[in-house]
């Protein structure tokens, strides 16, 4: 395992070393030590790397991730795994707002709580949160899945499209065009697999499913106040 310390190596140098693996990958296992809320750690990766970040990460950690497996052994700031394409990102602690925003694919696991706007405009990513999520989570969610093992804040799934939402705890309120839906066998099967991949020991039958009522897909004057 290659170890780089933020205490004596610049973040630019560390990220460049990781980016250099995109061609002919010579080092697959990396450890970044000394993280104290630094922004933009391990962004834009495009190789099958394993990256362990020891400490807390700042804004946009593992943003635009592709193929890599990134673990933050601490908390993560705003926009962790933003616009992720593939691979996995795991936060061992808490995550701030906009986790997984606009992400197209891959798996994001937050073992603690996530702040407001978790999964905003998500486009195919699977997000599993071990704790609670804040308000406006999954706003305009287009595809993928958001799983919340705790509670969800106000306006969950506001203006969403086809993202699947599963919540075990309570929901403060549902956003525009988001409704509770029947939890059928195929949803339990899918959720079981997703929870297993995320390493969450939860009973899928204890979750409720939410999705789009599809009333806002096309403009209707009667719904003008909801747009």
pLDDT in tens, 160-189: 999 999 999 999 999 999 999 999 999 999
154 found inside a domain:
yes
> What phi and psi, each to the nearest 5 degrees, are found at residue 185?
-60, -40
Pairing of strands 208-212, 50-57: unpaired
211 found inside a domain:
no
Which residue is associated with the tokens 């706007």? 117
This prediction has a pTM of 0.94
Q: Tell me how far apart the alpha carbons of residues 200 and 191 are, in angstroms, rounded to a whole number.
A: 11
Q: Which domain holds residue 157?
A: 2-200
Total domain count, the chain? 1
Question: Which runs of E-coded beta strand occur in the chain?
Answer: 2-5, 29-38, 50-57, 69-73, 88-91, 107-110, 123-129, 143-148, 164-167, 178-181, 208-212
pLDDT at 85: 98
Region 130-151: what's the mean pLDDT?
98
100 found inside a domain:
yes
pLDDT at 24: 72
Spatial contact of 31 and 4, defined as CB atoms under 8 Å apart: yes
> What phi and psi, each to the nearest 5 degrees, are found at residue 170?
-90, 155
pLDDT at 227: 61
Please report how many Cα atoms fall inside a 13 Å half-sphere around the Cα of residue 89, on the Cβ side: 36
Tell me if residue 167 falls in helix, strand or coil. strand
pLDDT band at 226 (very low <50, low <70, confident <90, very high): low
Picking from 194, 162, 197, 199, the residue whose alpha carbon sits closest to that of residue 178 is: 162
- For 98-129, the pLDDT digits (tens) are 999 999 999 999 999 999 999 999 999 999 99
Pairing of strands 164-167, 208-212: antiparallel
Region 190-201: what's the mean pLDDT?
98
pLDDT at residue 198 tops 80: yes
**Position with higher pLDDT, 151 vs 226:** 151
pLDDT band at 82 (very low <50, low <70, confident <90, very high): very high
- For 34-81, the pLDDT digits (tens) are 999 999 999 999 999 999 999 999 999 999 999 999 999 999 999 999
169 found inside a domain:
yes
210 found inside a domain:
no
For position 183, which CATH number holds? 2.160.20.60
Q: Tell me how far apart the alpha carbons of residues 66 and 209 are, in angstroms, rounded to a whole number.
A: 29
pLDDT band at 14 (very low <50, low <70, confident <90, very high): very high
Sequence length of the chain is 227
Which residue is associated with the tokens 């209707």? 220
219 found inside a domain:
no
87 found inside a domain:
yes
213 found inside a domain:
no
Mean per-residue pLDDT over the chain, rounded: 95
């Amino acid at each position: 395992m290659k170890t780089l310390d933020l205490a004596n190596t610049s973040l630019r140098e560390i990220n460049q070393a990781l980016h250099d693996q995109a061609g002919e990958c010579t080092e697959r296992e990396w450890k970044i030590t000394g993280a104290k809320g630094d922004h933009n750690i391990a962004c834009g990766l495009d190789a099958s790397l394993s990256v362990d970040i020891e400490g807390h990460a700042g804004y946009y950690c593992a943003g635009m991730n592709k193929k890599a497996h990134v673990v933050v052994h601490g908390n993560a700031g705003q926009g962790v795994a933003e616009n992720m394409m593939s691979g996995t990102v795991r936060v061992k602690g808490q995550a701030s707002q906009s986790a997984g925003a606009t992400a197209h694919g891959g798996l994001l696991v937050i073992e603690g709580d996530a702040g407001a706007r978790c999964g905003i405009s998500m486009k195919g990513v699977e997000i599993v949160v071990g704790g609670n999520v804040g308000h406006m989570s999954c706003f305009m969610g287009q595809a993928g899945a958001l799983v919340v093992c705790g509670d969800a804040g106000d306006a969950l799934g506001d203006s969403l499209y086809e993202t699947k939402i599963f919540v075990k705890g309570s929901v403060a309120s549902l956003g525009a065009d988001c409704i509770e839906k029947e939890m059928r066998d195929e949803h339990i099967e899918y959720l079981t697999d997703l929870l297993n991949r995320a390493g969450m020991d939860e009973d899928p039958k204890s979750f409720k499913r939410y999705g789009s009522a599809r009333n806002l897909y096309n403009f209707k004057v009667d719904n003008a106040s909801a747009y």
